[in-house]
Structure 1
Amino acid sequence: MASPARTTARILLGSFLVFAGVSHLTFGRREFQAQVPEFVPLDPDTTVVASGAVEIGLGTALLFARRRRGLVGVITALFFIAVFPGNVSQWTHHRDGFGLDTEIKRFVRLFFQPVLVWLAWWSTRRSRS
Structure 2
Amino acid sequence: MKEENIKTAARILLGAGLITAGIGHLTFARKPFQAQVPDWVPLKKDDTVVYSGLVEIALGTALVLAPKKHEALIGKIAAGLFVGVFPGNISQYTHKRSAFGLNTDSKRFLRLFFQPVLVYWALKSTQKRKLIS
TM-score computed with the length of structure 2 as normaliser: 0.94
How far 1:4 moved relative to its partner?
1.1
Question: Are positions 1:71 and 2:70 aligned together?
Answer: no
Aligned partner of 2:102 among 77, 100, 106:
100
Which residue in 1 is equivalent to 2:46? 45
Partners in 2 of 1:53 and 1:102 — Cα distance?
29
Aligned to 1:14: 15
1:52-93 deviation per Cα after TM superposition (whole angstroms, max 9, x unaligned): 000000000000001311110000000000000000000000
Name stretches of at least 5 consecutive residues in structure 1 with no aligned partner: none
Distance in 2 separating the partners of 1:63 and 1:88: 29
Aligned pair count reads 129
TM-score normalized with structure 1 length: 0.97
State the structure with bigger RCO (CA 8 A, min sep 6), 1 or 2. 1
Measured in 2, the distance between the counterparts of 1:73 and 1:126 equals: 10
Question: 2: CA distance between counterparts of 1:4 and 1:115?
Answer: 20
Instruction: Give me the whole-angstrom Cα distance separating, in 2, the residues matched to 1:31 and 1:108.
Output: 18
Consecutive unaligned residues of structure 2, counting only runs of 5 or more, are none
Identity of aligned residues (%): 57
Asked if structure 2 preserves the Cα contact closer than 8 Å seen for 1:3 and 1:126, the reply is: no
Of the candidates 83, 86, 89, which is equivalent to residue 87 of structure 1? 89
Alpha carbons 1:22, 1:56 under 8 Å: kept = yes
How far apart, CA to CA, are the structure 1 residues paired with 2:113 and 2:129? Answer: 26
Report the counterpart of residue 123 of structure 1 in structure 2: 125
Compare CA radii of gyration and give the structure with the larger one. 2
